[in-house]
Amino acid sequence: MVPPHDPPSNRPQSSSYAGFRHRLRTAEMVLGTWTGTSDPMIVEAMASSTAEFLVIDGEHGALGRQGILTSLIAARAGGARTLVRLGGDDPVHMMAALDSGADGIIVPRVRSAAEVVRAVDQCRYPPQGSRGFGPRQAGGYHRHEERYLEEANRSVTLLVQIETAEAYADLDEILDVEGLDGVLVGRNDLALSMGLSRDHEDPQLLEVVEDVLSRARDRQMVRAIAAGIDPSAPAALRELGANVVAGGADLEFIVHGLDRYLEAAAEGLREARAAR
């Protein structure tokens, strides 16, 4: 494996899995971004930025099990921490992501506290859970398995997405599940599920999102939210109660950058023709 890059000097560093989990819970703001491709050059380039973490998107991204592994290796080479959003709560996929070195798991579309209890069980080793043992990359390719086993239960981060009306109705019970670190609010799906506008400035949606974040903050939990590429969004979301923002995604940055370049180039050509 390519040796990891030296991290950017202005990126806050967590020296261990446990350090990252603690930072997500306690920091005023942690910034990351999303990747849904398995191209290792793109993932490594993003990981070597000042983003503290990458969310590797196994739900909406073009990733299978091998793609997630490739992305995790590339992100590690770039020096970023990683959260893997699964396509569901399948224990095999969760175990594979953790064995491959993910710092944490995001489970989408939860609807009840019972589902969260199951997710906690699947990502912790006995006696706290039922995760099977086989940490390949996470255990240093068999070199550090015992150390990983000793640290994993107190170090792996587990977030669930609050993005259904059922989850919002069961929110207090979900947040009280022992072993859950926090939530990631999925505003678009939550709005659709509750019959609200997907406009992120809609007062009714804002009230719901702020309520979710407030109840998580009262329990000193991670309060994460996904955002687009508007650089003003993290500050606004912090005011709303978030302390972790995953902003933009690989294809979004590529498309946005390409469109802005082509628009500016076309405008420059028009101005040059007009000046002849």
User: Among residues 226, 186, 187, 220, which one has the least CA distance to residue 206?
Assistant: 187
The whole-angstrom separation of Cα 180 and Cα 112 is 13
- Is 212:169 a contact under the CB 8 Å cutoff? no
Local confidence band at 3 (pLDDT 50, 70, 90 cut-offs): very low
pLDDT score of 276: 83
Strands (E), the chain: 30-35, 53-57, 81-85, 104-107, 157-162, 182-185, 222-227, 244-249
pLDDT of residue 120: 97
d(CA 239, CA 166): 26
Contact 112, 119 (CB under 8 A): no
The pLDDT tens digits of the residues spanning 249-267 come to: 999 999 999 999 999 999 9
Compute CA 209 distance to the chain's CA centroid, rounded to the nearest angstrom.
Answer: 17
User: Per the CATH hierarchy, to which homologous superfamily does domain 17-274 belong?
Assistant: Phosphoenolpyruvate-binding domains (3.20.20.60)
Q: What is the pLDDT of residues 40-54, one digit of tens each?
A: 999 999 999 999 999
Q: Which tokens is 184 given?
A: 């990631």
Domain spans, the chain: 17-274
37 is written with which tokens?
Answer: 């491709």
Q: Which pLDDT value is given to residue 9?
A: 53
pLDDT single digits (tens) 141-178 = 999 999 999 999 999 999 999 999 999 999 999 999 99
Residues with active-site annotation: 60
pLDDT (tens digit, 9 = 90+) per residue, 201-233? 999 999 999 999 999 999 999 999 999 999 999
Q: Which two tokens stand for residue 222?
A: 């991670």
Using 50, 70 and 90 to split pLDDT, how confident is the model at 90?
confident
> What burial class does residue 267 get, using C-beta atoms within 10 Å of its C-beta: 0-12 exposed, 13-18 middle, 19+ buried?
exposed
pTM: 0.91
Report whether 36 contacts 63 (CB < 8 A): yes
Other CB atoms within a 10 A radius of the CB of residue 128 amount to 15
Q: Give the pLDDT mean for 111-127.
A: 97
- Torsion (CA) 73, 67, 103, 166 in degrees, nearest 10: 170
Residues 6+ apart with CB under 8 A from 174: 110, 112, 113, 116, 160, 162, 167, 180, 183
